[in-house]
Structure 1
Amino acid sequence: MASTPRPDFARVARLRGAEQGMIDEAARQGLMPEDIAHALTAPGVSDLLLFQGFEVVTDLGALAGPGSGVVDVPRHLVDGDVPALVDVADAALCAVLYRRLLVRGTATEQAALINRDVLLRLWPRRLAPQSVAQVWERRFPELTAA
């Protein structure tokens, strides 16, 4: 019977440290917004977020997605949790789509698919992981007033 290989936690820690160092350097060079770099290198951020990163629109007014009807979800965001078509009237499914867009969508996709008023209405549901939500709330204080 073969034994289960033991994870190399030291290697994982080195990779994580190297990624955090690259993020810090990118922020210093102006290649990444400082608020996102800070969120990605904060203690407790998930490995997924650290290595994937995330984007945030620069203007809440740019969120021009549909306020009603159906959203045609980009193929790379579709899976068992997010179908190819999402009805904005289905608050639970719309919240799942918005969460996906906040974490994995580009700023361009966010602007095209997220509706500002719907986001404000859904925001109290905690749509994003804490590190992502903090960046959105610092940039757009009106989210915390919702």
Structure 2
Amino acid sequence: MGDKHLARPGDTYGSMIPYVVPASLELFQGPSVGVIELPTRLDWTSNNRYDLADLDEAIGLYNRVISEASTEADLIEYLNRDVLLALWPRLRLPRRCAERWVAAFPQLG
């Protein structure tokens, strides 16, 4: 393990989370309609089903997947580029996560 993964004085738990940022938004061809059930690795709550027709549920799904994904494959499976672009201004992501995504994709800012 490299030094970049070691905690240093002043680090917080949030500063150590390795948020996944995809290589390209074009990879996101996931569902844009329907009900999505997330696996436990992404949503360990009892309410892990999200109806994309419901704005609040769609926002909840995207918040959850983006902040909890541990691989690019998780992002690709559940996210849709057009839905992401429409929802981005309404998402409430951890600050460091949102900053990493905007740095990679300025069009989100």
Structure with bigger helix share is 1
Match of residue 22 from structure 1: 3
Matched, 1:86 2:67: no
* Among 99, 107, 110, the residue aligned to 2:75: 110
Q: How many residues align?
A: 106
Any unmatched runs of 5+ in structure 1?
Answer: 1-20, 26-40
Partners in 1 of 2:89 and 2:25 — Cα distance? 16
Query: TM-score when scaled to structure 2?
Result: 0.80
Matched, 1:99 2:63: yes
Partners in 1 of 2:54 and 2:44 — Cα distance? 17
Query: TM-score when scaled to structure 1?
Result: 0.62
Deviation at 1:91, TM superposition (A): 1.4
Any unmatched runs of 5+ in structure 2?
Answer: none
Partners in 1 of 2:30 and 2:41 — Cα distance? 18
Deviation at 1:118, TM superposition (A): 1.0
Kindly report which structure 2 residues correspond to 1:16-95, keeping only aligned pairs within 5 A, or say none: 22-23=3-4, 46-50=12-16, 52-80=17-45, 83-95=47-59
